Structure formats: structure tokens, C-alpha cells
Amino acid sequence: MLTTERLERGYQTAARALLGEAVPAGHWEGELSSSPLSTATAIAAFQSMINQQPHRSDEFRSLIDGGVDWLAKHQNPDGGWGDTVLSHSNISTSMLAYASFHMTGAATSHPQVVERATAHVEAQGGFDAIRARYGKDHTFSVPILTQCALAGLLPWNKISPLPFELGWLPHRFFQWIRLPVVSYALPALIAIGQARHFHAPSWNPLIRWIRRAAVKPTLRRLTSIQPESGGFLEATPLTSFVTMSLVSMGLTDHPVAKQGLSFLVNSVRPDGSWPIDTNLATWATTLSINALAGEELDDSMVDALITWLLSQQHRKVHRYTNAAPGGWAWTNLSGGVPDADDTPGAILALLKLRPDCERVREAASAGIGWLLDLQNSDGGWPTFCRGWGALPFDRSTPDLTAHTLRAIRAWQPSPKPGSRIERAVTAGFGFLARTQRSDGAWLPLWFGNQFATDEENPTYGVSKGLAAYRDWDRLSDEVPQRAIQWLVSAQNQDGGWGGNLQTPSSVEETALAVEALLSVPFADKACQRGVSWLLDRVSEDSFRQPAPIGLYFAKLWYFERLYPMIFTVAALARAVENAARLVDSSPVDSNRPADVRPAMTS
């Protein structure tokens, strides 16, 4: 039975667990899943250096052996590897691991592992499957094939050349020349493009001459955008690909290669694996603040969190993406890049902590200005750069647009008619209306579900879209009503939600759906069942179990250990606020289908 006492107890248990995850400084760092993909690329980078400088074998051999052993232990039963230890096998990660075993000589020490991997990659279509998976987007297909070439599995001339000479151009031209890689992949364009040119120069003498002339200036460009940590975007795969490419050309002493190797050495985990990224500290912190009801944080904690968040705001033009000052990245580390998900998250968190604080208002104002400048002409918001639209990861997306609209609402609840903010909000909701599917769902960019068709996660997209309509008091509009209908109909028989219709329930997706629906009166029965499902997970302490729902760059799966706790806290905090509607004297039947009522129209 759902009671007020059970609700309060469940929320307090989840909130205490989340608060207990904060680091001594007061913020949250979280823990990203270990990644077979990252591990495979890191050991390939080390092996590339040993191939060029055999005397350094002692320096890197233990790291390689540790990574190989970890990969062998985490091979899936089908012979492949997924992006996390909870992920289904995919051709990209399987091919990279397969190449690493050959490249490092581990094929002889782990013959059964390699035999199963060979059968798997061949059954999946091998190199052709890699090309088909990514199509015109070379952001990830060319790096994968490059590692295969370094392992001796593929001739260099079978890899598409990358126009690295375009990295010579000023940044403002990039959005107009439709690069075959996404905006954040400039380091790969330069380093991998140069490696391809080095090992298999173009037959065209003019192109060969241009590329030869562009080598030094683009290497200078690459050096100038490498962060202090040495890790491009704090990401192991991108840093590994850049490093192995430079080293393969004999540039073993180049500063970028040396700092890249240092980053990889410093990023290895005790079990011999590497994560996709170092951490999502800023993202995890703002999510946690926005999830908690608020009374759990005393004044000293609030002061510390405000100071920490303000110190993460980028105050000058970013040397990598050329982003203007005012935004926030996902991490407090030097490889982070300001984006349109972390910036609204930080604004919402700061305004929740202390909305009348002058420092907070100044930072939020700068952040809102940054977001307004980022808005695309279609009314939506992209991740990093305005105007880049050649490839999916650079286009406007509903989840980021909804998040930005929420931040604007928190900053200026009643924008003046005709003002820039009012026009931006109108355009943003227009984008959401146009991108809604006919069934009422939105598809997010940065989250997926491995059990769903096409690995999509409309549950996440709809939950985030509805939050924007909720915050702007527009839930009675036709667009959100269709979204509500979809979300209620997607509830599973057990009371939970997966990423899509008829996918297994997860803590993350159930919590997201419940939080979104708790503002919808006619969805009370669905919310009762969803809240009861979450409370069961809290009582058995399985609400800490993460699912691989996050998508990183180039659609690499990850899971974050804090996500299920954070999302559960957010849902139960809102459930406590709405306890009077949810709590009744009748037991909640988790096997009873949710009520689905006709959508209301305004």
C-alpha cells in the first residue's frame, strides 16, 4: 500500500544515499562505467609507442597486459564486446578489441578469446559493417579502421582519407564547409587524417602537395587545443586515437603524443580498465542539487556548492570549440567543453540553491546569454556549436531544447512580449512541436536504450520534453497532451518503464517517467504504480543498480553509478510534494494496466 509514511521513508533513504556519495569538498563526481572500447584503444596507443620505441616496453607492458586480461574476462558469450560490461555486443567495440588482441600479440596468449572474437566480427560483417553503421559520419568509422590498419588487419588505402588540411582554416569557417566529422572531433580529423596521408598519400599530386604543406600548421593547431590534462574532452578513446596516429608517423616525442600517453597512464583503473571519460562531475552535481528537495542542504553546504559551481563556469573563449564565455561543461577538468545540457543544468541548480544571491544572478545571466547565442535558426538548441548541422550530433535536439527552456523559465518567468527571450522561448516550443513524432514522443540525443528498436529512448525524450511544458504551465496544450498519452501507454505491467514500449523496466527510466507525470492529474494511477515500483527498489536496495542508458560521443554507451540514485531522489521528492493526490486507502496493484484517458485539449 502506498502511504505517506512509506513515501517519506523511501525518499529519505534515497536522499541519504545520494548525499553520502558527495566528495569531501561537497560536490559529486560519480563513477562512469569501465569501457571495453576505451580499454581496447588505450592499450593500442601504448603498443603503438612500443612498436616505434621497443626500449619502452617495460614502461607500458604491464598496462597492456592488464587491459588485455580485463578484456578477456569481460568478453560477452557471443564472442563480442559491448561499450560497457552491461552492454550488448556491437561491431565497433568488438572490432577494436579484436584489433588490440592482434596488435599487442595477445592473440597467442588468449587463443580462445581471439577465436570467439574472430567468429563474432565475421558474422557481423567485419569492416563493411563498420562503414555501414556510421554511413557518411566518419567521426568514428575512420578511427576504428585506423586502429585495424595499425594492427595489420586492413590496408591503409582501404580507409577513407580525412581532409585534415581543413584544420588549417579559422574556426569560424568550419560550420560552412560541412566537415565529415562532428564539431568536437577536430583532434581526430587532424591526427588521423595525417596518419592516413602519411601511410597512404593521395595519388593526386595537388592534394598531396596541399596536405604536405598543411602538416605543420595543423599540428600546431592540434597542440593549441590540447587541454592541460592531455585528454581531449577527457575522453580515453579520442585521446587514444590521436596518440596512436601521431606515434605511428614517428612523432613519438611530439608534445601532443607525450601528453596523451600521460593522460592514459593516469586514467587507468586498478582493475586494468579505462572509462569512457574521466568523470561527469559538474553534470552529476547539478543533477543531484536539482533532484534533492532542498532541506537536506544546510547553509554551509549551499555556500560550498555555489562556490564550486561558479568556479566551473567558463569565463573566456574556449580554445577548442571557440565557445564564448558563460557556459558550463560536464566536468570540472580541463578537457571539458561548454554545452547546452550542462549549462541549463547549472543555471537551474544555482537558482534553486540561492536565487537572490548577486553572484548567482550574474552567473545565470551570463549563462542565459550564452544559451541564447547558441540557439539555432530552427528554434532548437544544439550541443556545442550553433550552425553545425551536417551530422546528427551537431543538430538541434529536443532534450537539450527542453532543458534550456526550463533554465530560461527559472531565470525570467515572465519575459516581456517581443523581447529576445520571449522570441527564443516561442521558437523553442515551436521546435518541440515540429520534432514531436506522430505518436507523441520525442527522441533524445544523449540517451538510448539497448533493448529498444533502433536503440532509441523516447521515455527519456518525453520525460524531458514534458518538464519544459510543466515549468511553463503549458501541460494543457495539445503537444504535451500527446506526449502524456504516449508516456502513460508505455508503462509496463510491473509498474515501471523502460526506454520504449515493451522494454524491461529500469530505475532510471521509471524515475524519469514518474517525475514527469506527477504534474498530470489524470495520470495518478500510473504514478501510484510507478512510485510503488520505485519504493520497492529502494526497500530492497536495488535502486542503486545502473543501466546503460547514456550515450557518449559517436553513440558510445555508458552507465553512471549515480544516475539511478539521482533520478530516484528526483521522482520521490516530487512524489512527496504530491502525496495528497497519490496516497489512498486502496492497495496499488502492480499488475493492473495504467489508466489511459483521452488527451485534454486547450
Spell out the domains of the chain, with CATH numbers in brackets.
34-275 (1.50.10.20), 279-435 (1.50.10.20), 455-602 (1.50.10.20)
Distance CA 308, CA 353 (A): 12
Q: Is 105 left (phi over 0), alpha (psi -120 to 50) or beta?
A: left
* Bridge partners (DSSP) listed for residue 447: 550
Residue type, 525: K
Least Cα distance to 496 among 526, 467, 517 occurs for 526
pLDDT tens across 237-261, in order?
A: 999 999 999 999 999 999 999 999 9
> According to the model, what pLDDT value does residue 586 have?
46
> According to the model, what pLDDT value does residue 318 have?
79
> According to the model, what pLDDT value does residue 596 have?
41
Q: What is the phi/psi pair of residue 560, to 5°?
A: -115, 125
Q: What stretch of H or E contains 551?
A: strand 550-551
- The long-range contacts involving 202-205, CB below 8 angstroms and separated by at least 24 positions, are 202/161
> According to the model, what pLDDT value does residue 391 have?
59
What is the percent of the chain where pLDDT is above 70? 93
Look at the block and give the residue holding cell 596516429.
245
Q: Is 135 left (phi over 0), alpha (psi -120 to 50) or beta?
A: left
Distance CA 337, CA 355 (A): 25
Distance CA 387, CA 389 (A): 6
Distance CA 402, CA 199 (A): 46
Least Cα distance to 137 among 438, 461, 390, 446 occurs for 390
State how far the alpha carbon of 177 is from the alpha carbons of 163, 173, 339, 560, in Å.
11, 7, 22, 36
Distance of CA 378 to the CA centre of its chain: 23
> According to the model, what pLDDT value does residue 591 have?
46
Neighbours of 597 (CB within 10 A): 14
Distance CA 46, CA 240 (A): 9
> According to the model, what pLDDT value does residue 387 have?
67
Q: What is the phi/psi pair of residue 169, to 5°?
A: -75, 155
Distance CA 58, CA 61 (A): 5
Least Cα distance to 75 among 127, 104, 115 occurs for 115
Look at the block and give the residue holding cell 606515434.
247
Residues of the chain with pLDDT under 70: 171-184, 387-393, 554, 584-602
SS3 letters across 221-251 = HHHHHCCCCCCHHHEHHHHHHHHHHHHHCCC
Looking at residue 497, the DSSP 8-state letter turns out to be -
